[in-house]
Amino acid sequence: MFDIKKIRDDFPILSRKVYGKNLIYLDNAATTQKPLCVIEKISEMYSSFNANVHRAVHFLSDASTNEYEAARTVIKNFINAEKSSEIIFTKGTTDAINLVAFSYGERFIEKGDVILVAESEHHSNIVPWQMLCQRKHAILKSIPINDKGEIDFDKYIELLTEKVKIVAVAQVSNSLGTINDIRKIIEKAHEFNAKVLIDGAQGVQHFKTDVQELNCDFYVFSGHKIYAETGIGVLYGKHELLEQMPPYQGGGDMIKSVSFAKTEYADLPLKFEAGTPNYMGAVSLGEAIKYITQIDLENIQTYETELANYAEEKLETVENLKKIGTAAKKTGVVSFQLGNIHPYDAGMILDKLGIAVRTGTHCAEPVMHHFGILGTIRASFAFYNTKEEIDELCLGLLRVQKMFH
């Protein structure tokens, strides 16, 4: 059973006040709040298990390594990877994309090759590819979106040729909430032997993701957007691809042996985890995933869909509100403009009412260029938000309008 009261009690920060008002946190696409079990797990780790992983023979190091590797298994099961060695811990989504762009790119991308990304991508799924293209004299092309914020599939097909080596798209757009049809995108790319990286930063926390069923080549996401700590993320890659890729960084832990004549690299996944990893973050991610698994992602999805539909309808009643991004399939992200009020001004006033929303370009400037705007106000929901909070948001927006007229 989905008990919203109990769920909200699991997140201590939700009961705090901001400027004397109840906190209404609607910036979940930027980062999510943490449940008590994750906070307690981190505290327990520092109180009882802290030692560097994969290093020493002593008790604490062994315990800490076991926790770290157990978290890897939790993540493997969560996204249904075939092997734990396909799960690489990174600093986050950005770090994971840079890893692939650098390592896969170094080995496989040549002059004149084409990389496709959607026009709606987050900067972190554009810039690393742009940098790769500059290094390799390859060509970055964008797949256009339509005016609803959906990837234009016909244009995508037109762009696919044998020259395309990588297609990198988000499962869900962070600025618009569009759920992209990644299954179809992957299938088509594979017909041209292109590899596909899916940026799951805004998808993995909302619905069940099965990387084997999707048949994506790479899948990346961030811990902090799925109720875990910051500074931890995941790169999933197909084993045979990761095997062929050179290490991204050199250092301790990623080697079997080192001499000045020759260094032999460690097997997967450690080959890509140079230096002391963020084992605390990894354990927190394992714990966060156990938490949402116990609530059940299907229950979460059902609740979040109801909440998103409510928000979409309710916001329609706010005069002069123009939604940006009206895709047929969306998560709980609503981007909008309020008359000619600058999003930043609206955000500041909402903040004083205890309502946290994001304003600006959401690290997706090409999306803003597409719509010819400077930015939006974005409300993004998690499964601990409520319809009452959405009502408060609408009242807050009316207050903003009154102040400006």
**What's the rounded Cα separation, in Å, for the pair 183 and 151?**
13
Task: Please list, in sequence order, all residues whose beta carbon lies within 8 angstroms of the beta carbon of residue 84, skipping any fewer than 6 positions away.
Answer: 69, 72, 73, 76, 269
In this structure, are strands 263-265 and 255-258 parallel, antiparallel, or unpaired? antiparallel
- 94 near ligand PLP, rule: CB under 6 A: yes
Shorter beta-carbon distance to ligand PLP: residue 347 or 396 = 347
Q: Which of 28, 174, 178, 335 binds ligand PLP (CB under 6 A)?
A: 174
Half-sphere exposure of 68 (CA within 13 A, CB side): 26
- 361 near ligand PLP, rule: CB under 6 A: no
At 334, list the tokens.
Answer: 């609503």
Site for ligand PLP in 231-290 (CB under 6 A): none
- 337 near ligand PLP, rule: CB under 6 A: no
- Least distance in angstroms from the C-beta of 93 to ligand PLP: 4
Shorter beta-carbon distance to ligand PLP: residue 29 or 211 = 29
Q: Which of 33, 124, 331, 380 binds ligand PLP (CB under 6 A)?
A: 124
Other C-beta atoms closer than 10 Å to the C-beta of 352 total 12
Q: Which of 37, 133, 363, 394 is catalytic?
A: 363
- Least distance in angstroms from the C-beta of 143 to ligand PLP: 15
Active site residue 363: yes
Which residue do the tokens 């973050």 mark?
281
Shorter beta-carbon distance to ligand PLP: residue 85 or 124 = 124
- 359 near ligand PLP, rule: CB under 6 A: no
Cis peptide before 269 (omega within 30 of 0): yes
Phi, then psi, of 193 in degrees rounded to 5:
60, 20
Q: Which of 28, 33, 103, 125 binds ligand PLP (CB under 6 A)?
A: 125
Given the rule CB under 6 A, which of 121-129, 282-290, 339-347, 392-400 is the region that contacts ligand PLP? 121-129
**What's the rounded Cα separation, in Å, for the pair 401 and 281?**
42
Q: Which of 24, 26, 53, 170 binds ligand PLP (CB under 6 A)?
A: 170
Task: Please list, in sequence order, all residues whose beta carbon lies within 8 angstroms of the beta carbon of residue 270, skipping any fewer than 6 positions away.
Answer: 54, 253, 254
Angle subtended at Cα 185 by Cα 184 and Cα 187, rounded to the nearest 5 degrees: 65
- 165 near ligand PLP, rule: CB under 6 A: no
Shorter beta-carbon distance to ligand PLP: residue 96 or 114 = 96
- Closest alpha carbon to 297 in 326, 331, 325: 331
Given the rule CB under 6 A, which of 2-10, 126-134, 197-205, 350-358 is the region that contacts ligand PLP? 197-205
The alpha carbon of residue 312 and the mean position of all alpha carbons in its chain are separated, in whole angstroms, by 22
- 120 near ligand PLP, rule: CB under 6 A: no
**What's the rounded Cα separation, in Å, for the pair 84 and 77?**
8
Question: Which helix (H) or strand (E) is 214 found in, with range?
Answer: helix 211-214
Given the rule CB under 6 A, which of 122-130, 153-161, 303-311, 368-376 is the region that contacts ligand PLP? 122-130
Q: Which residues bind ligand PLP (CB under 6 A)?
A: 29, 92-94, 122, 124-125, 170, 174, 199, 201-202, 222
Instruction: Indicate which residues carry an active-site annotation.
Output: 363
